[in-house]
Amino acid sequence: MYSTTTLIIGAGQCGLAMSFELSKRSIDHLVLDAGRAGESWHSRRWDSLRLLTPNWMNTLAGQTHGPEDPDGFATARRFASEFDNWVTRHAPPLFTNTSVNSLSRLGEGYIAETNRGAIRCRSVVIATGACARAKVPAFASALPHRIEQFSPITYRSPLELRSGSVLVVGASASGLQIAQELAWSGRKVTLAVGSHGRLPRTYRDADILQWMHLARVFDEPFTKVDDLERVRRTPSLPLIGTPERNDLNLDILQARGVELVGRMMDIRDSKAQFSGGLFNSVSSAELKMNRLLDRIDTWISDRGFDDMVAPPQRFAPTIVPADPRLAIDLTEIDTVIWATGFNPDHRFVQIPVFDHKGRIQHQGGIVEHGLYVMGLPFLRTSRSVHIDGATRDAKALARQICIQLNQPLAA
């Protein structure tokens, strides 16, 4: 049996950030991962994916810059190599290819049963992230067997799909990007649009994320959010990272021949059923975008920067089909890609810390005395799902671990 002070489960950006912070505080720990460090970036991304955040937002713990070119967008493959470099440079106490079968309380601490044997510890940080499993609706099982099904985790490229028409379900960042790639490949694509957003890639001479950073849009703490559960369900930013800094929105997809329908609701009588709320979904996205642009404009004006950047701009409303289809016969569909979001995988946790929906309950990442979680949406701020946000959260939670262990508080 192994023994350590703190066990970190997961070696993505969150797990490595926590290891970095505990090392600075001389706290004995182990990091486990079912694959290698950054495994999801190595093996669970589609081939053409680039990060939608610019490189200056993609620093791992202890780095002072992103992969290359601060304002560029690294490919997922290029970014994955940063994990290998980080492990070589920092030599964390890392066990790769180590899966955790169960985590339970033991006395005043915890015990993890793994494929390497049991590990005892005084505290645990669950850093397996929010995107371990694709969220697929239950009615997906009603699809005919002849229809191939993928998620953003299993999809790789149009070359792997059989010829024919594709239904992409979900219009957040992954759904938009995959729908565009499939349309470029010449396939007939239908996009089912539920909750989504709209943002320009650049605004007033700068990347939209640069303005959001400067205006502190990402910095509101979880303790000051009125409806935290709603905020934690907010779709990912509807952006694409390209060298040309292109926009990606529903109008661009329609111009490439993509058909828009409403949220997919069910499969009945051999037909995919869609809601009639497409117009409302689009209108809500544009309302939120304009509120954000107003906030950015106010920040610029308050600091006297108006004459230094381009003038304010508002964008034409998305063209919504006058009569979007409410049902599609499944004989028209050859492939479905479920871009309907992700769920964490905390099934190994054998401790009663879940709510009625099976989600770990926590306050800013603190589950209970000695048990912590990282990498979930709006864990502490909206930066929690950003790569460089892992370091901020790790600092805060490492401080809590020091308090738990009666260790001196580091800076």
Residues 277, 151, single domain; the answer is yes
Task: Report the C-alpha gap between 112 and 101 in whole angstroms.
Answer: 7
Report if residue 411 sits inside a domain.
Answer: no
| Helix (H) / strand (E) containing 72 | none
Give the predicted TM-score (pTM) of the model: 0.94
Token reading at 150: 């993928």
State residue 1's pLDDT score.
85
Residues 293, 167, single domain; the answer is yes
Residues 124, 145, single domain; the answer is no
What is the CATH classification number for the domain harbouring 109?
Answer: 3.50.50.60
| Dihedral sign from CA coordinates of 18, 76, 282, 199 | positive
Residue whose entry in the numeric block shows the structure tokens 């609701």: 265
* Parallel/antiparallel/unpaired status of strands 342-343 and 133-134: antiparallel
Which one of 338, 361, 376 terminates a domain? 338
Residues 382, 354, single domain; the answer is yes
Report if residue 197 sits inside a domain.
Answer: yes
Residues 190, 283, single domain; the answer is yes
Residues 295, 147, single domain; the answer is yes
Kindly give the confidence (pLDDT) of every residue in the chain, 411 residues in length, as a single tens digit, with 9 standing for 90 and above: 899 999 999 999 999 999 999 999 999 999 999 999 999 999 999 999 999 999 999 999 998 766 678 999 999 999 999 999 999 999 999 999 999 999 999 999 999 999 999 999 999 999 999 999 999 999 999 999 999 999 999 999 999 999 999 999 999 999 999 999 999 999 999 999 999 999 999 999 999 999 999 999 999 999 999 899 889 988 889 999 999 999 999 999 999 999 999 999 999 999 999 999 999 999 999 999 999 999 999 999 999 999 999 999 999 999 999 999 999 999 999 999 999 999 999 999 999 999 999 999 999 999 999 999 999 999 999 999 999 999 999 999 999 999 999 876 655
Residues 89, 225, single domain; the answer is no
Report if residue 174 sits inside a domain.
Answer: yes
Report if residue 69 sits inside a domain.
Answer: yes
Domain that holds residue 296: 134-338
Report if residue 410 sits inside a domain.
Answer: no
State residue 408's pLDDT score.
67
Residues 82, 99, single domain; the answer is yes
Residues 159, 254, single domain; the answer is yes
Report if residue 258 sits inside a domain.
Answer: yes
State residue 403's pLDDT score.
93
* Parallel/antiparallel/unpaired status of strands 271-274 and 327-329: antiparallel
Which one of 313, 338, 363 terminates a domain? 338
Residues 94, 180, single domain; the answer is no
* Parallel/antiparallel/unpaired status of strands 148-150 and 166-169: unpaired
**CA end-to-end span of the chain:** 33
Report if residue 200 sits inside a domain.
Answer: yes
- Count up the domains in the chain and report the number: 2
Report if residue 386 sits inside a domain.
Answer: yes
Which one of 282, 303, 338 terminates a domain? 338
Residues 116, 218, single domain; the answer is no
Task: Report the C-alpha gap between 72 and 63 in whole angstroms.
Answer: 17
State residue 390's pLDDT score.
97
Residues 232, 310, single domain; the answer is yes
